[in-house]
Every structure is written in structure tokens, then in C-alpha cells.
Structure 1
Amino acid sequence: MSKYPKVAVFGGGSWATAIVKMLCENLDQVGWYVRNETTIDYIKENEHNPNYLSSAQFNIEQLNLSSDINKMVAYADVLIFAIPSAFIKTELDKITEEYSSKIIFSAIKGIIPESGLIVGEHFNQKLNVPLNNIGVISGPCHAEEVAMERLSYLTIACRDTEKAELISNCLSSHYIKTKTSDDIIGTEYAAMLKNIFAIAAGIAHGLGYGDNFQSVLMSNSIREMKRFIKKRHKMKRNINNSAYLGDLLVTGYSIFSRNRMFGNMIGKGYTVKSAMMEMSMIAEGYYASKSAQLLNKINPAKTPIIDAVYAILYQNKNPKTVFKRLTEQLD
């Protein structure tokens, strides 16, 4: 395979837009599946996404845009999915082109609700894509900082190290540093879990807890993440690496974190429905908290923070009461 294969990105949101921008630093052409034809027309005319990361400018000659998902699947050797987990199955069901032999990378930070699986597991177990052809793109990296070309870091995980290096080369630039990992399951679970912990950080902020408590919350979160992932996929990993702890910290503390923003609104008294309506972006941690709760019943780990977020979001428990109890469980 050549240094730069044909790559297509699937999704029209901020993270998909950021990935397309990164790829355009290295590739002569990038495939981009955007479901809305009106959005495609706008990008072609104005050279930026009208709805997300509008500051990221594109050379239209580099973009192979299409609202036909099968056309993009047929075009590319590498398929990068950056569609919110709540909607990914609907999009995958549209695909009639054969893609089990293609390289699939997930940039989705959540669990597919219909199967209860992280994206890599879903492609492997439900769609018969070999594990060696599946990879994960994780942070710590916010799309908004990519748009501003601020120095950012990515972890590219795949069991096949050559494929991890291949995608790493496609995404690297003067403002994007990459490292590779073989922990595809762990990094994908970490990307899902950190959104739940970011909601917890937001709720705490909305309730008026200060930086002292936030530091304890984040310290307990990384240990909770370690326990949860170990139950799902036991292997040697350093939970303090950037793909785990780094991604957790940037999502828990950043002003760009939609999950923290969502949690902050809940802490201030918004209902789940009203908070979702006010936000123009998906808070993946909302869906992830339910999935994590279900998974944890199968092979339980001690997860007081996940339990607290689930109780607030899905059982309509009072955030103030739940967090008062949570403070007594943390150390």
C-alpha cells in the first residue's frame, strides 16, 4: 500500500470536519460523506462547513464530497467514521457496498445503542470486519483547537501496527502530533468513559463545587476508568498515558467540552430534555452513561461516578442529593 491511501471521512459534525482538515494537510484528495446535500452545496460554494468549525477553510479541489454513502465506501481504502454513536447504525444500514476487507477507523466516542458495543467491536462482531482491519482515533484533542491549528495530540490505535502508522502519517502535521497504540479496545472504552466523567465534572461545576473537589473527582475518575476497562479487556496498559488520562483531563476541564457543558446545565437545574434542546451538538456521554451502566451489570467494577451520572440523567434523581452522596464515596 502506498504512503497515502484513499481515505474517506463519514460525518458532517465538528470532529469529522476537523479530521478532514487534518487529512487535507497530507492528501491530494479526501473523500467526505455528508448526509445533507444542502450542506455539501454550501461547502463547495463557501469553502467551509456552515454548521461546525466554520473557521476551518478548505481547498474545494481537495474534497470529494458526496451525500451517497455507498459512493464513498466504494471510493476509499480507509473509512473513518465520525458519526455520533446514536446515529451510526442508521447510516451503516444504508451501506450495500462490500467493505469487510477495507480498513475501518472509528473516531466515535461512544457505544452503539442497538448492539451495546463500542464501534470496533460492532464492526468485528456484527459486520465481520477482521480486528486487524479496525482502528481507533482518540485524543486528547478538541476539534475547535484543530481548526485554530493549535498544537494537538492524537493516539492512533490498531492491532496491526503498520495500519496504525499509516493513519498516523495521514493525520500528522506541524500542529498535530501522533502516537500509535495496540490497545484498540481500551482506548475506545476510554474515549467513551471520559465523556461520562466530563458530564460529572460539569454537574459539579453547575452545583457550585470548586476546583478542590474537581481535582478529587478527576483523580477518582481515572481510577474508575482503569477498573472499568480492566473488566472489559485485560491487558498491560498505562492508564496515565495521553489516550486515557490526557483525554479525560481535556474533556473534563476544557471550555470546548460539550459533555462538561451539558453537565453544567444539568447542575444548574436544566432538565435533560431542555439541556439537549439548547445544545446544538450531541453530548455523547448521555448515551454512554446508560450503555456503561448496562455493561457494568455483566461484569461489575466499582463505578460510583458513572452510577451517579446515570441516576441523574436516567432515573431523574436530584443532582444535589446524588452528588452529596458521591462526595462521601470518593477519596
Structure 2
Amino acid sequence: MENKLRFGVFGGGSWGTALVKMLSENLDNVGWYMRNEYAIRHLKKEKHNPNYLSSVEFDMDRLNLSHNINEIVSASDVLIFAIPSAFLESELKDLNISLKDKIVFSAIKGIVPESGEIVGEHFHDQYEIPFKNIGVITGPCHAEEVALERLSYLTIACADEEKAKAVADVLKSDYIRTKISDDIIGTEYAAMLKNIYAIASGIAHGLGYGDNFQSVLMSNAIREMKRFIDRVYKMKRNINNSAYLGDLLVTSYSIFSRNRMLGNMIGKGYTVKSAMMEMNMVAEGYYAAKSAHLLMDKLEKKSKTPIINAVYDVLYKEKNPKKVFAKLTEKLD
């Protein structure tokens, strides 16, 4: 596919900002939808996002900024969504342009609450976008390290290999390595599940569990992830690849992980509500824990996901983290 495609990024958070940085290094024009009009005015004047990754300075001649979602959709062939899953539908409510002929890539790590689906499935079912035009951008890659231009890796998944390559080509640089995959369902579920396991890692840390337990927790988490994904969409995949295991590890251990931060606060005694109020960013794992738990319950496979169950019990049943994790330790090996 000749890379004359026009790209638009939707979302003004840290990951959306990082994606625009990557794209603007390879493209002369990048569309960027941001709901926050103040942030747009600030960007145009000061050349950086005032709220996220403020150290990144943009060449404004390369950006087409707008708080009108229809304007950026109209001007783009490839739409990259980096809006938290919990707010995706509220952002799309103003859309009056069909997405049927657009190529949509999700950089969202979560479940859409309104449908209970991963983002790719949601766009297919709700917006009639063919699966060949839907893709996923996943890590292991933290926005903060992209801002620092530290070597990072991305996996671009799409059923259409040509489209995956086209997106991979415009994201890669001296500090971004890209690879492609055809496991769009598996990589997107992995991107969602790793946030739940990062909350578990954070809770364990906050409770005072050490590195020895964390290693056992992560060993069990990757096996639990494999069971979950195989149950939902079985195909040949290597769960030890960076899109699965690598993304799990960086999200569970990194100081930049908002999901680990949420878990850590809860483990140290914060209520779930107070921890979420104190954080100024969305922890996708909070919403994902409920969706994953309900899905496994529906499939009658809940017994196969003890870590997800433990996180769900802490977040939604308000069970004591110390007691829940004491029981969890007996189920791990």
C-alpha cells in the first residue's frame, strides 16, 4: 500500500500525544482531535501539550488541530483512537460522518462499557467497519519513554498485512521499532488484560509483598492470559512475544504505569474511589476487570482466572485486599 494515506489521531492524553509525536516525525501533516480547546490554543502558541508529555515540542506546521471530531475524520483515511475506552462512545456521539470507508486502528487498552466489547469488535459491530479495515497498536511502550526518545517497540496488528505495514512504516523511527501481526483479537485482549494484572502487581506491592512473590504473580498472569485469550479466540500465537508477555511486564513493573499506581495505592490503604480521584489519568484496568470477570463468568470459566477474580473482588466487591491476596497466594504456583 503506497503510503499516501492521511492520518488522524483522536485523543489528547499521554498516549495520543506520543502517537502524534511518532507520526509527525515521518509525515508532513497529522490530524489531531482534542476535546480540550484550551489545550489546542496552548499547543498553537507554546508548541507543546500543556497537560501531557509537556516536554515534547511539536512542529506546528505539521499538525492539523481541531476540537471538532468530524473535521479530523473527514480529513483522514486512517483513524487512530487513543481515547480511554470508558469515554470512547461519549466522544463519538457528535460524529455525523460514516466510518464505513475509514481504516481504524485502536491504541486503546480496554473494553467499551456500553457494548462490553474490545474496541475493534465494537467498531465492527456498532459502526459497520469491516475487520480488514480494523487494526491494533500495542506495546510494550510507555508514552513517557517515547517522549524521552528511549528505544521502544510497537506491534501493529491487522488482518490486512498491507495496512499493518503502512501503519508500522509511519510509526517507526530511530527509537521506535515496529513489527506486524495478524492476531488482532489476541493482541487487543492482551493489551486489555495486562492492565488488570498491573493492578494486581500494584496491590501486592502496596501490601508489602516482595520481588519473589511478584515473579510468581507474573508467571501465573501470563499463563492466565493465555487461557483467557485462547478461550475467546484460539489461534496459533506465541504468548511469550513482546505484544503479550513484554507488554504485561512493562505495565506491571514500570514507574510510569498508572494501573500499577492504582493498585499500589489500594494496597497501601486507599479506598478504590479515593485512589481513582487522586489520580489525574484513567487506569483502564479498573473498567477491564469488570468486563473480563463478567465474560469469564458467562463462559463458566471463572475458575481459570484467579488473578482477575481477585482484582475484581477488591475493586467492585470492596473486599479487603489483604484477605483477598492471602487467598490468592494459595492458588498460585
* TM-score computed with the length of structure 2 as normaliser: 0.98
Structure 1: which 4+ aligned runs deviate by more than 6 Å?
A: none
Contact 1:4–1:27 (8 Å) recurs in 2: no
Is 1:324–2:315 an aligned residue pair? no
Q: What is the Cα deviation at residue 298 of structure 1?
A: 2.0
- Indicate the RMSD between aligned Cα atoms, in angstroms: 0.7
**Where do 1:49-60 residues align within 5 Å?**
49-60=49-60
1:81-102: CA deviation from partner (whole Å, max 9, x where unpaired): 0000000011122211122111
Amino acid at match of 1:205: H
Contact 1:22–1:171 (8 Å) recurs in 2: yes
Is 1:115–2:143 an aligned residue pair? no
**Where do 1:52-131 residues align within 5 Å?**
52-131=52-131
Report the counterpart of residue 272 of structure 2 in structure 1. Answer: 272
Q: 5+ unaligned residues in a row in structure 1: which ranges? A: none
CA distance in 1, matches of 2:277, 2:205: 20
CA distance in 2, matches of 1:62, 1:106: 22
Report the counterpart of residue 45 of structure 2 in structure 1. Answer: 45
Q: 5+ unaligned residues in a row in structure 2: which ranges? A: none
Report the counterpart of residue 32 of structure 1 in structure 2. Answer: 32
Amino acid at match of 2:319: K
1:33-67: CA deviation from partner (whole Å, max 9, x where unpaired): 00011110001111110000011110111100000
SS at 1:126's partner residue? helix
Q: What is the Cα deviation at residue 4 of structure 1?
A: 3.9
**Where do 1:166-181 residues align within 5 Å?**
166-181=166-181
Taking only the aligned residue pairs, the percentage that are identical comes to: 70
Structure 1 266/31 Cα, relative in aligned 2: closer, same or farther at 3 Å?
Answer: same
SS at 2:196's partner residue? helix
SS at 1:56's partner residue? coil
1:115-149: CA deviation from partner (whole Å, max 9, x where unpaired): 00000000111211000000000000000000000
**Where do 1:1-331 residues align within 5 Å?**
1-301=1-301, 302-331=304-333
CA distance in 1, matches of 2:91, 2:279: 23
* TM-score computed with the length of structure 1 as normaliser: 0.99
CA distance in 2, matches of 1:296, 1:9: 32
Contact 2:99–2:127 (8 Å) recurs in 1: no
Q: What is the Cα deviation at residue 3 of structure 1?
A: 1.6
CA distance in 2, matches of 1:269, 1:208: 12
Structure 1 window deviating more from structure 2 (221-230 vs 293-302): it is 293-302
Q: What is the Cα deviation at residue 2 of structure 1?
A: 3.0
1:280-306: CA deviation from partner (whole Å, max 9, x where unpaired): 100000000001011112224300000
